[in-house]
Amino acid sequence: MVNLYCYKSIPLKVKDIDAKQGIVSGYFSAFGMPDSDGDIIKKGAYAKTIQERGPKSSQPRIKHLLDHDTTKAIGVIQELTEDDYGLFYVSKLGTHTLGKDALLMYEEGIITEHSVGFKTVKEQKSGEYNEMTELMLWEGSGLQCWGANPNTPVAGVKSLVKDSPDKVFDRLDKLTKALKSGYTDDTIQLFEIEIQQIKQAIKDSLAEPPKSTHSEPDNTNADILNTLKSFSFTKN
């Protein structure tokens, strides 16, 4: 089935940030890595779309967005190429408010993933996986939210609380630090919303009854709650 618009996310791969020039480089997509949907993007999948729509083409159409939001273009892609790892980009972030905020978010680790918005052109089944061999790329996004689905910012937080709570609290540390930085009011509001979403997800996890009554007493929830209470979520 050919989808008009799909998303695929990867953990953040930033090769360089030049704050003075407003240049960011890294990877929008990775090759050969099965995702939760059982899809694998093959090297060469972006070759045609780069030629026809990339920054060096006669009609550049591929955008650099924030959170797949078409009203939030944060920069202009200068280079877009495939290498052995994945889809490499170089982008010059804008001097507008959103571009400046995005540069800060890259520097401070608020943007935590990259993702692509694309249309599947060619794919084939190979064993247990679906190989995507040609994609039409609409945009590459920096993501400031949790999980692979940008529409559910706190997806997976409950499992992270139990399995990797340090990652949750590291995220909260970065967000609370960002509240005291030089972001615009609109971006600060987004950070505050995410903090509240994370807090709610943690509270929901703490409210879940234990799966077994035969296990040894577990103080994990109490420890997490005490740590959560230690955070201050107000900006100066």
Shortest CA distance to 68 belongs to which of 146, 143, 129?
Answer: 143
Q: What's this model's pTM, rounded to 2 decimal places?
A: 0.70
Residue 235: pLDDT band by 50, 70, 90 thresholds? Answer: very low
Q: Which of 71, 104, 91, 93 is nearest to 182 (CA)?
A: 104
Task: Give residue 20's pLDDT.
Answer: 92
Tell me: the pLDDT tens digits for 107-134? 988 887 899 999 999 999 999 999 999 9
Predicted pLDDT of residue 236? 46
For the segment 148-185, what is each residue's pLDDT rounded down to a tens digit? 433 333 445 555 666 677 777 887 888 888 888 888 77
Name which of 28, 7, 150 is nearest 87 in CA terms: 28
**Residues 125-159: b if buried by 16+ CB within 10 A, e if exposed:** eeeeebbbbbbbbbbbbbbbbbbbebeebbbbbbe
How far is the CA of 102 from the CAs of 68, 97, 109, 165, 231, in angstroms? 13, 9, 10, 26, 24
CA 98 to chain centre: 17
Give the SS3 label for residue 114. Answer: strand
Instruction: Please state the φ and ψ torsions of residue 176, each to the nearest 5 degrees.
Output: -70, -35
Considering only CA atoms, which of 86, 82, 60 is closest in space to residue 73? 60
Domain ranges of the chain: 6-143, 157-229
